[in-house]
Amino acid sequence: MHKHRKLTSSALTLLLSVLSLPLYASPAFSAPPVRTTRKVSAVPTWSANIHVPFRSWIPRNKPRQVLLCVHGLGFSSKSFTQFGRQMAAREFAVYAMDVRGFGAWMQRTSEARVDFEGCLADIEGALRTLRASYPHTPIFLVGESMGGAIVLRAASRNPQLVDGIVCSVPSSDRYAKISSEIIVGAHYLEDKNKPIDLKPEVIDRTTADKALRAKFEADPTNRMKLTPQELKQFNEFMKGNNDAAALIIKTPVLMLAGFKDKLVKPEGTIELFNLLSTQDKMLMIVGDGEHLLLEENQLTPQLSTLVTDWIKSELK
């Protein structure tokens, strides 16, 4: 009975989201120009003690909010370039960090492998550094796909450091999940350290746009081959999503999913949304959205307006 009520309300949210999106498609909601931003393209370090590769997009004026972004599997902080520019133009200070095993970490031989515990420690360190650098400024975590799962986990462990979460498709409920797990399992038995190409299982399902897929593959900052051992670690990590969601007690959450996502089932995101303990939560299903909504130039002006409005409404 209750489950039914939950599902009905979720379905209603989904329907409203799908119906409401075209309303924002007018030019009046287009993003402000990005010329006020300053991009830091080098790969500096957070502080003397924390060596986490990151990119940042900082507005000229004092930022009103800070966003710390975490990318999805195979990508790097570079995937938030367009998001960072657009949000910096809206007076957010945007930071995007590389998850261990990806981006600039690939150049560090000892740390080139996926390490989620290390990544969570990096995020905690980054949040503390940002808190000190921007006193009295709200800090929001932003994550997509694997990054969404990571920010949920980070916020569940450090609620005192996070003022809100924007979380896109964090669910582990993928299409063809069983077949991909069998493939990974078979490769694991064969040689757990021999990298597997993610293209057929992940990239081809991320977008129907062939040009975009080719761009993902051609970008040297993306990592499209992972070992079975790393993929096993990824699967194990994603299984902890439900526990992390239940442990988000008060932190406000905006959860996003693409209705045309061919990689992660939107139902999985809805289920995860229902598991969030916080009452301050909102679910947005993007009618024409595929797997990526925030990264790799997929942020639309209307979605950036929605994210901005939600963050501002949370601070009132």
Q: According to the binding rule CB under 8 A, does residue 250 interact with other proteins?
A: yes
CB of 57 to other proteins, least distance (A): 30
- Residues 100-129, mask of contacts with other proteins (x by CB under 8 A): -----------------x------------
Q: According to the binding rule CB under 8 A, does residue 191 interact with other proteins?
A: no
- Residues 70-89, mask of contacts with other proteins (x by CB under 8 A): --------------------
Q: According to the binding rule CB under 8 A, does residue 161 interact with other proteins?
A: no
Q: According to the binding rule CB under 8 A, does residue 301 interact with other proteins?
A: no
Q: According to the binding rule CB under 8 A, does residue 246 interact with other proteins?
A: yes
For other proteins, the closer of residues 274 and 308 by Cβ is 274
Answer for which of 20, 47, 137, 158 binds other proteins (CB under 8 A) is 158
Q: According to the binding rule CB under 8 A, does residue 2 interact with other proteins?
A: yes
For residue 142, what are its two tokens? 């932003």
CB of 242 to other proteins, least distance (A): 8
Answer for which of 221, 277, 305, 308 binds other proteins (CB under 8 A) is 277
Q: According to the binding rule CB under 8 A, does residue 243 interact with other proteins?
A: yes
User: d(Cα 64, Cα 252) in Å, to the nearest integer?
Assistant: 17
On whether the CB atoms of residues 151 and 167 are closer than 8 A, the answer is: yes
User: d(Cα 184, Cα 190) in Å, to the nearest integer?
Assistant: 10
Of 117, 113, 130, the closest CA to residue 54 belongs to 130
Q: According to the binding rule CB under 8 A, does residue 210 interact with other proteins?
A: no
CB of 133 to other proteins, least distance (A): 22
Answer for which of 64, 157, 177, 213 binds other proteins (CB under 8 A) is 157
CB of 246 to other proteins, least distance (A): 4
For other proteins, the closer of residues 84 and 170 by Cβ is 170
Q: According to the binding rule CB under 8 A, does residue 136 interact with other proteins?
A: no
User: d(Cα 114, Cα 202) in Å, to the nearest integer?
Assistant: 17
CB of 274 to other proteins, least distance (A): 9
Q: According to the binding rule CB under 8 A, does residue 244 interact with other proteins?
A: yes
How many residues bind other proteins, per CB under 8 A?
A: 18
Amino acid at 131: R
User: d(Cα 281, Cα 272) in Å, to the nearest integer?
Assistant: 11
Contact footprint for other proteins (CB under 8 A): 2, 6, 117, 156-160, 240, 242-244, 246-247, 249-250, 275, 277
